[in-house]
Amino acid sequence: MKISLLKVTTLIFLSFFIQLNAQYIPTSPYIQNPELAIGYTDSCAQFWLQTWDSQLGGFFTNIDKYGNVITGWGTNKNMLTQSRNAYGMARAYMLTGDTTYLGFAKRALNWMYTHAWDNNYGGWFQDIDINGNPIYPTGDKTAFYQHYALLGIAAYYEATKDTLALNWLLNGYQHLENYYWDVRPAYHGYYDKTNYNNQAAWDKSFNATVDAITTHLLYLYLMTKNQTYKDRLQEMAEEIKQHLVGSMPQQAIGFVEGFDSDWNWNPLDTMTIMGHVLKTGWCLARINQLFPDTSYISAAKYLINDVWQNGYDHEFGGPYKDFNRITGQMILWGLSDSTKAWWQMEQAIVAGFQMYDITNESWYLQMADETINFFMNYFVDHQYGEIYADRTRYGGFAWNEAKGNSGKAGYHSIETGYYTYIYGNLFYTYQPVVLNYNFEPLPSDREIILSPLAITDSNLIVSNVLLEGQTYSNFDPINRVLNLPAGVGGHFEVMYERTNVNSVSEPIVSIEGFELSQNYPNPFNPTTKIKFSIPSVTLSEVEGSLVTIKIYDILGSEVATLINENKFAGSYEILFDGSTLPSGVYFYQLRAGEFAETKKMILLK
């Protein structure tokens, strides 16, 4: 169900997919044509397949640029590696439809369930040896690892609705609520650490706070619409505003990232990370899309602008890495040149896209575009696949060219492709996106909520569904609910469309007084009204000339002619009946002499 735009290039329809009021025009091919992100994602996922231990199971953690295990760094198979690679495999499947990736996501998670869960005290171990044994069974556990253990599980559950994954997802979430959440009203938030048997918990941090949102809380809400997760998301937004954003006026750059249990700043923790500042803005922006609050957007702007003004490379593109929040000095970590990190580049891309969609301020799009250009040119290994962890300001070698370590796996590289595809299409070119799901048949009826991103519910619909390549009509397009009767399942391809995109046409000649109104109602079933006006002018080539209104489908094929006759000055209204057409996105175009304008409409049956 991939959509080709070749048919529309011979028409004026190419202008549908350009936001004309943007002052900044992206140069990245990945923004101009987000479909390219699918191939990039596929190449990253292919790289990580070779890091699976075919004998003992589990993904190896320490990987060189060629995909080999760096035995000198250890043959660990850390929990974070399993969860992040499972996330990457699940997302790669959702973009490509290749079930090989889904199979490896399942294997990684099953290995993690078996070897990384603490059966005595609950919670997840991080450091796991080659045989699946925890290396530090009585070591402290951190919220960072407890959050990230749920990342891969949440993505796999979204793609499959696997009941085992759901049980583990809820298990891990409940462990966090039971042992990490500070119930004291004045100090709400997740603790940063617990000891091995959960008898003590202490400190607060950026990771304990923001990473809860981006690893599982947001996905739990999107997949369930449960009030519990809504409440927790809003609580986390308040903690961000009060403690992270609230610390910024007293810093030279960024915010305070480490706190004691009572949210007092840790004076010894002076580092602030540009990727953390950007991620925090992205999280607030996404929460705003679900539960609108002007304070969320104000805070997101403040955060992202701080990086743009103080921690961003305006010559070569992309955010810098780490700074001393008090002095404002960049931390070079022994290098003579400033550096950039792979995951921080992603945050600039996704935050830029998200805020551009919300504010229509072109500098956010510029940030996304410049960063993805640098990322694709210098971070991506176009010979062996996947991406390097660090590059210098100019794109050169930093510390090493390893591609896997205790903090890096297939997560950020693949997520960059995943959201470039979704955001690029839905937020910039306004083309539909197609995602793949695999729902096994169950003996009972199911209603599956389809919410792949944080967006106002009325702004996104499901416009088409295929089951095993055949049209499947048992779904609610407006509420994005897939209805699966007992015994029904298989491979689904789901197409999503934006519904709040106004005219983005580019008139061949703009003649004042011509007007083509948005059809009403829109979406419609099966009839809608289209109004248009022709001005009183003395231009012989316009007045009394031939006027046409034609309907085209998403591929640019003409499906109906509503008017094809001479029209004089005046206002007109015409009824379009789509009863013979399938549900989907259509375009209607008015032509009169040299004037042409096109608008989008959605037929939902």
Q: Which of 350, 351, 325 is nearest to 418 (CA)?
A: 350
Alpha carbon distance 331, 250 (integer Å): 19
**Average pLDDT over every residue of 359-384:** 97
Contact 146, 121 (CB under 8 A): no
Least confident of 98-102, 114-118, 145-149, 566-570: 566-570
**Residue 542 in this model has a pLDDT that exceeds 60:** no
Render pLDDT for 319-349 as a digit per residue (tens, 0 to 9). Answer: 999 999 999 999 999 998 899 999 999 999 9
**Residue 16 in this model has a pLDDT that exceeds 60:** no
Alpha carbon distance 174, 169 (integer Å): 9
CATH number of 19-429: 1.50.10.10
Beta-strand (E) ranges in 56-184? 141-142, 181-182
**Residue 3 in this model has a pLDDT that exceeds 60:** no
How many Cβ atoms are within 10 Å of 374's Cβ, its own excluded?
23
pLDDT for 285 equals: 98
Render pLDDT for 116-133 as a digit per residue (tens, 0 to 9). Answer: 999 999 999 999 999 999
**Residue 380 in this model has a pLDDT that exceeds 70:** yes
Least confident of 8-12, 77-81, 168-172, 222-226: 8-12
Which residues, 6 or more positions from 144, have their beta carbon under 8 angstroms from its beta carbon?
192, 205, 207, 208, 211
Q: Can you give the residue ranges of every domain in the chain? A: 19-429, 433-498, 515-603
Enter the pTM of the model. 0.82
**Residue 156 in this model has a pLDDT that exceeds 50:** yes
Render pLDDT for 432-443 as a digit per residue (tens, 0 to 9). Answer: 999 999 999 999
**Residue 510 in this model has a pLDDT that exceeds 80:** no
pLDDT for 545 equals: 66
Helix (H, G, I), strand (E, B) or coil at 33: coil
pLDDT for 566 equals: 83
Contact 331, 323 (CB under 8 A): yes
Going by pLDDT thresholds of 50, 70 and 90, the confidence category of residue 511 is very low
Which residues, 6 or more positions from 39, have their beta carbon under 8 angstroms from its beta carbon?
none
pLDDT for 604 equals: 83
**Residue 414 in this model has a pLDDT that exceeds 90:** yes
Is the backbone peptide bond immediately before 523 cis, with ω within 30 degrees of 0?
Answer: yes
**Average pLDDT over every residue of 369-383:** 97
Is the backbone peptide bond immediately before 432 cis, with ω within 30 degrees of 0?
Answer: no
220: exposed, middle or buried (Cβ count in 10 Å: 0-12, 13-18, 19+): buried
**Residue 241 in this model has a pLDDT that exceeds 70:** yes
Q: Which of 236, 243, 239 is nearest to 266 (CA)?
A: 243
**Residue 169 in this model has a pLDDT that exceeds 70:** yes
Mean pLDDT of the chain: 91
Q: How many CA atoms lie within 13 A of 464 on its CB side?
A: 19
**Residue 569 in this model has a pLDDT that exceeds 80:** no
pLDDT for 501 equals: 62
What percent of the chain lies above the pLDDT cut of 90?
A: 81
Least confident of 297-311, 367-381, 449-463, 508-522: 508-522
pLDDT for 605 equals: 78
Going by pLDDT thresholds of 50, 70 and 90, the confidence category of residue 523 is confident
Least confident of 62-71, 105-114, 343-352, 547-556: 547-556
In terms of pLDDT, which residue wins out, 509 or 462? 462
Going by pLDDT thresholds of 50, 70 and 90, the confidence category of residue 168 is very high
- DSSP track, 529-565: EEEEEE-----TTTTT-EEEEEEEETTS-EEEEEEEE
CATH number of 515-603: 2.60.40.1930
